């Protein structure tokens, strides 16, 4: 056995992947302790596997001060874009004012997140704009609309203001013990929110945003931000959503309230668009399913069919 093989095997989590290196944070690492820069063993290539940011791994430190990733623990989830493993919570950040709240985009995000099997929290940001500007009424209406539509179907809604620090303690508490992704419209204050959660992060967040490939940059990587008791991955890939990896027949199951009623429909494989004795259409008619949710579902269905016809 080589000297490196005699080294003690440790457990850690990949917090960054860059240029063929994996940066592993050892389990129980002290604050400020350096991550171990590792290469992956050749066995991964042979198996056609690739370690991802978020993976829990067995690794060992080698004699050159670096390390080697030997094995991956089973994943609880895997996102294709951005490539990150073991995410168990998605924080969807939407503004109550500028940009105006877009329920269609919110439903598109939720469909993708449900498909990935990840829990979601809706975070309404820029509350300070709503309170300080002349759009108070519009913002209040937007907030109450989100609470009215999404809380009854089981989504938690948090209202935050990065500038005033309102709601950030509740959000930080919610993130404890999780590996979360922040996603949402650009310009809604995701970076400001992360800065409010982790004081002193400003510079780092801007650097991450640039390296992650926003704007003109084409190389992108995912990096986990340690918020103390949990991790957050800022996710540029979530801003270009399409339904490529989601089949038409799966769309209904990505809307919680439709999934619950699908078994009551007369026809198996009901599309919930035009069929007679459809439990979902009846629930819309009875006011049990928000019309905006069903309208967006129908729109996504049409979008997917159109794309299928084109290819």
Tell me if 187 is assigned to a ligand binding site: yes
Nearest CA to 160 out of 149, 178, 175 is that of 175
9 is in an annotated binding site: no
- The response to whether 3 counts as a known ligand-binding position is no
Residue 263 marked ligand-binding: no
| Pairwise CA distance, residues 220 & 82, whole Å | 9
H-only helix segments in the chain:
42-47, 103-115, 127-132, 136-150, 168-175, 190-197, 202-211, 256-261, 279-285, 291-310
Is 265 annotated as belonging to a binding site?
yes
Q: Is 274 annotated as a binding residue?
A: no
Phi, psi of 14 (to 5 degrees): -75, 120
Is 147 annotated as ligand-binding? no
Report whether 272 belongs to an annotated binding site. Answer: yes
4 labelled as ligand-binding?
no
Ligand-binding annotation for 184, yes or no, is yes
45 is in an annotated binding site: no
DSSP 257-287: HHHHHGGGSSSTT--SSS-TT-HHHHHHHTT
Binding residue per annotation — 128?
yes
- 305 labelled as ligand-binding? no
Q: Is 15 annotated as a binding residue?
A: no
188 is in an annotated binding site: yes
Q: Residue 300 CA to chain centroid, in angstroms? A: 20
Q: Is 32 annotated as a binding residue?
A: no
Q: With the CA atoms of 271, 275, 279 and 280 taken in that order, what torsion angle do they form, in degrees rounded to the nearest 10?
A: 50
| 125 in a labelled binding site | yes
Binding site feature residues for GTP: 125-128, 184-192
Binding site feature residues for Zn(2+): 265, 270, 272, 278
Binding site feature residues: 125-128, 184-192, 265, 270, 272, 278
């Amino acid at each position: 056995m080589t000297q490196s093989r005699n080294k003690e095997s440790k457990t850690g989590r990949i917090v960054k992947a860059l240029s063929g290196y994996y940066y592993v944070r050892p389990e129980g690492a002290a604050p400020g302790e350096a991550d171990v820069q590792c290469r992956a063993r050749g066995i991964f290539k042979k198996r056609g596997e690739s370690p991802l940011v978020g993976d829990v791994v067995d690794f060992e430190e080698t004699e050159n001060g670096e390390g080697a990733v030997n094995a991956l623990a089973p994943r609880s989830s895997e996102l294709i874009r951005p490539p990150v493993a073991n995410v168990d919570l998605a924080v969807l950040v939407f503004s109550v004012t500028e940009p105006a709240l877009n329920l269609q985009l919110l439903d598109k995000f939720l469909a993708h997140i449900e498909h990935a099997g990840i829990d979601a929290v809706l975070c309404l940001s820029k509350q300070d704009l709503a309170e300080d500007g002349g759009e108070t009424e519009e913002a209040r209406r937007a907030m109450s609309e989100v609470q009215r539509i999404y809380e009854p179907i089981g989504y938690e809604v948090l209202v935050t203001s990065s500038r005033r620090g309102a709601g950030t303690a509740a959000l930080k508490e919610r993130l404890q013990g999780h590996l979360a992704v922040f996603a949402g419209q650009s310009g809604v204050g995701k970076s400001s929110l992360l800065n409010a959660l982790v004081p002193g992060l400003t510079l780092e967040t801007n650097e991450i945003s640039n390296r992650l490939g926003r704007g003109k940059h084409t190389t992108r990587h995912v990096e986990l931000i340690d918020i103390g008791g949990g991790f957050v991955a800022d996710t540029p890939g979530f801003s270009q959503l399409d339904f490529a990896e989601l089949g038409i027949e799966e769309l209904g199951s990505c809307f919680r309230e439709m999934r619950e009623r699908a078994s009551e429909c007369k026809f198996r494989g009901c599309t919930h668009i035009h069929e007679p004795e459809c439990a979902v259409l009846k629930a819309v008619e009875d006011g049990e399913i928000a019309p905006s949710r069903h309208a967006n579902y129908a729109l996504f269905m049409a979008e997917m069919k159109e794309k299928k016809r084109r290819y």
